[in-house]
Structure 1
Amino acid sequence: MALWRAYQRALAAHPWKVQVLTAGSLMGLGDIISQQLVEKRGLREHQTGRTLTMASLGCGFVLPCRADSQGPVVGGWYKVLDRLLPGGTKVDALKKMLLDQGCFAPCFLGCFLPLVGTLNGLSAQDNWAKLQRDYLDALITNYYLWPAVQLANFYLVPLHYRLAVVQSVAVIWNSYLSWKAHQL
């Protein structure tokens, strides 16, 4: 509980910094889990550069356009959803989830996968082929996890805690994304 209260205080005092550092840390943790538990690389074969790249993507890829927008793209997206669809009923939560999963998720994956390919040195042609091969599978996998999480998140969780819920679940998702993005 003390850790949660400290997180809440830091989030209230420095929302942008805390969210960016949290996103980067959890993206890096997801890659560590991917390399160690999924790919079973072991410590000697762990690709530290890959972990740092994924952590950097967590910090940099999700940065907002303005420092006063209070958080990464995901946090900003939740604010947009609340402006577009104000209210907290079950129907409102369902509409937010459908918009989130119908618009945000496909765009996020369509940007994330080629960005990782580019950072891994893939040529434009190889990157396009990898995107064509992996995108649909990643999007379908997204739909196994995120709609239920987001429906509960939009219905049960106050706006200022939604990002924390997503980031907690994202450890699992980031492990999958790292594995998927680094398959050749």
Structure 2
Amino acid sequence: MAVCSACRSAIRRHIDILRKQRQRRTYSSNTNNGTDLNSKTAKRSLHTPPRPQDQVPTPNNVPTLNFWQRLGPLTRAAQAYARAQRKRPYVTQVCTSLFIYLCSDISAQSMGGRDYDPTRTVRSLLIGSLSSIPSYHWFVWLSESFNYPSRLLSIATKVVVNQICFTPVFNTYFFGMQALLSGATLAETWDRIVHTVPVSCVNSCKLWPAVTAFSFAFLPLEYRPVFGGVIAVGWQTYLSYLNRLAEQRMAMKAEKLSEAEIEVAA
């Protein structure tokens, strides 16, 4: 009996020793894992920037708005135009063209020193409404094309393509339609195009490359018609003025021909 009790006590003692060793291993492994996790978390917190919502607003981390976004009523008007541009681009473009051509024609007629002619205004509004949608598609295509890794090269290419392709075609359309709608013959229309388009294309190089480059460099697509429209009021005034000079030149030429015919008949 004494031997059995001694054996049982030895077995219990051995089991207790094994249990304590197992507990020590489990504690040491948990401690090491916790230390590793804490160290990894600390390293991650050092290298990971704080989230924007966790930052305290200061002058250094609050983004500043662009100048054109801080103009009060003008900014709200531009934003309303941009919303209309995104929802109804065609209607917005036609209305914009009608406003631009109305202002430019009235300005051009006031420079001529003659009485106001509503027929000229109606003619200009028709020309502007017909060209609004093709012009819109052209500039959308131009903004989506010629996008190279170099931003400077992209903008320069867009400007050059616009000056070479769009400007001569549009000016030919403008002066040709002005002549045809005023009752000129094909020969007279061609004569007006020859005397107005080259001059207008050369003078456009003094204005529109800078306007186009600024528009593509700094303005989103929906705001470009607003910016271009403001500049186009003055430019369309100049085109209307050139067209009026061409009309006067053709009228003087017709008077001379009629006088010569009268002299020959006499």
Structure 2-normalised TM-score?
Answer: 0.61
Q: Does residue 1:77 correspond to 2:138, yes or no?
A: yes
Superposed structure 1 runs of 4+ greater than 4 Å apart: none
User: Would you say how many aligned residue pairs link Structure 1 and Structure 2?
Assistant: 171
Q: 2:190 aligns with which of 112, 120, 128?
A: 128
Find the counterpart in structure 1 of residue 83 from structure 2.
9
Deviation at 1:92, TM superposition (A): 0.8
Deviation at 1:6, TM superposition (A): 2.9
- Could you say what secondary structure the match of 2:162 adopts? helix
Separation in structure 2 between the aligned mates of residue 148 and residue 169 of structure 1, nearest angstrom: 11
- Could you say what secondary structure the match of 2:202 adopts? helix
Please show how residues 87-98 of structure 1 align to structure 2 within 5 Å. Answer: 89-98=151-160
Deviations 1:77-124 (A, max 9, x none): 122113321258122111100100111111111222111110111111
- Could you say what secondary structure the match of 1:152 adopts? helix
Find the counterpart in structure 2 of residue 40 from structure 1.
113
Find the counterpart in structure 2 of residue 66 from structure 1.
none
Deviation at 1:172, TM superposition (A): 0.3
Q: 1:54 aligns with which of 118, 124, 136?
A: 124
> Structure 1 vs Structure 2: percent identity of aligned residues?
25
Contact 2:102 2:124 in 1 (8 A): yes
Provide closer, same or farther for how the CA distance between residues 25 and 128 of structure 1 changes in structure 2, counting only shifts above 3 A: same
Separation in structure 1 between the aligned mates of residue 184 and residue 131 of structure 2, nearest angstrom: 18
Separation in structure 2 between the aligned mates of residue 80 and residue 13 of structure 1, nearest angstrom: 18
Separation in structure 2 between the aligned mates of residue 90 and residue 164 of structure 1, nearest angstrom: 23
State the one-letter code of the partner of 1:123.
T
Deviation at 1:12, TM superposition (A): 2.6
- Relative contact order: is structure 1 or structure 2 higher (C-alpha 8 Å, sep ≥ 6)? 1
Separation in structure 2 between the aligned mates of residue 75 and residue 93 of structure 1, nearest angstrom: 18
Find the counterpart in structure 2 of residue 20 from structure 1.
94
Q: 2:222 aligns with which of 156, 160, 172?
A: 160
State the one-letter code of the partner of 1:85.
F
Deviation at 1:4, TM superposition (A): 2.7
Deviation at 1:74, TM superposition (A): 2.1
Q: 1:29 aligns with which of 90, 100, 103?
A: 103
Deviation at 1:128, TM superposition (A): 1.1
Find the counterpart in structure 2 of residue 67 from structure 1.
none
Deviations 1:37-70 (A, max 9, x none): x2133xxx101111121112111233xxxxxxxx
Give unpaired runs (5+ residues) of structure 2: 1-72, 248-266
- Could you say what secondary structure the match of 1:144 adopts? coil
RMSD in angstroms over aligned alpha carbons? Answer: 1.6
- Could you say what secondary structure the match of 2:206 adopts? helix
Find the counterpart in structure 2 of residue 68 from structure 1.
none
Separation in structure 2 between the aligned mates of residue 164 and residue 157 of structure 1, nearest angstrom: 10
Deviation at 1:147, TM superposition (A): 0.9
